[in-house]
Amino acid sequence: MAIWKSLYDVFDKERTRVERTKGTTQAIRYEVEANVRFIAQASQSDMDIASIIQGLETQVFNQILKQGGSLSKTLLTEDQVVGYPEFQFYVGKTANELVHLGYQRIQLMKKLPVEQASMLKIKSLMRFLLLCAFLIDGLALPKRKV
């Protein structure tokens, strides 16, 4: 009977870990997508740069970071970024690493003086966050229309 109990305990711990990882991934994906939508709407409505930067969300990421959570180890492949030379540098990095880089960019933009921030940097951040969202979902970026 002790063997079955031990096997069940191992199974239960693994199942709990997998469910926690799925929850973490969904929460981060939602926050990343919310940031992308916010930047897109703000740029269409001609919101000022300081308001856009302050409106970016990082609470879920900070909470997960404090808890020691992580995302999947899915690697970015060349097939996922065909037609996007600016993302070739990130090929071989995991979703976890790219999301961390994305949030580091957000934190850096929040610390920058408003004079150094530009709409070009914000749009670059949006494109990077889109890359993160697609990688979290395990999808390739859509093909560019030439």
Quickly list H helices, 45-114.
49-55, 59-67, 95-111
Q: For the chain, how many structural domains are there in total?
A: 1
Q: Specify if 105 maps to a domain.
A: yes
Q: Specify if 144 maps to a domain.
A: no
Q: Specify if 145 maps to a domain.
A: no
Q: Specify if 16 maps to a domain.
A: yes
Does residue 104 sit in helix, strand or coil? helix
Q: Which domain holds residue 44?
A: 2-136
The predicted model scores a pTM of 0.82
Q: Specify if 74 maps to a domain.
A: yes
Q: Specify if 141 maps to a domain.
A: no
Q: Specify if 39 maps to a domain.
A: yes
Q: Specify if 143 maps to a domain.
A: no
pLDDT tens, residue by residue, 25-62: 888 889 999 999 999 999 899 888 888 989 999 898 88
Structure token pair of residue 127: 């494109």
